[in-house]
Amino acid sequence: MVARGSQIDDEVAARLRATNENVAVGGLVEDNVVSMHNSQAGISLLSAASGVTVRDNFIVGDGLFALAVSNFYPADVEANNRLIDNDLQFFKGGVASIFLDTNTQNTTVKGNCGAVVDLGTGNHLDCRNEH
């Protein structure tokens, strides 16, 4: 069963914002299997997450995005994140496989990306879209 997480995500973000802390600086999300159906995103970096590496994850099913880097608050900036060699070949995106919101800066995306929405600044895409 896949956790939909919206209430939990909202509560975590509210608590972190109240204490003026960043959600993640320099984390690693690696070697996970994510199965989703009619969800928003398989793996999301939110609320000023910076320096996070998301690599070698296997994401299957359908949803808006397999991977998303976005924000809860307009002032949050998510910089220098890396989405590397994630396996999205069995994911069907309602909008795209990967979403980089307007607050992303210098995010690197590498591997089989599928469709990408990049609204950020200075992001680098190195995609080989093989099927």
Number of domains the chain contains: 1
100: in domain? yes
**At residue 45, does pLDDT exceed 90?**
yes
For residue 85, which of 118, 44, 43, 113 has the smallest C-alpha distance?
113
Q: Give the range of the structural domain holding residue 78, as residue numbers without chain letter.
A: 6-127
1: in domain? no
CB count in 10 Å sphere of residue 33: 10
69: in domain? yes
Above pLDDT 90, what percent of the chain?
68
- The 10s digit of each residue's pLDDT in 17-29 is 544 454 557 889 9
- pTM, 2 dp: 0.80
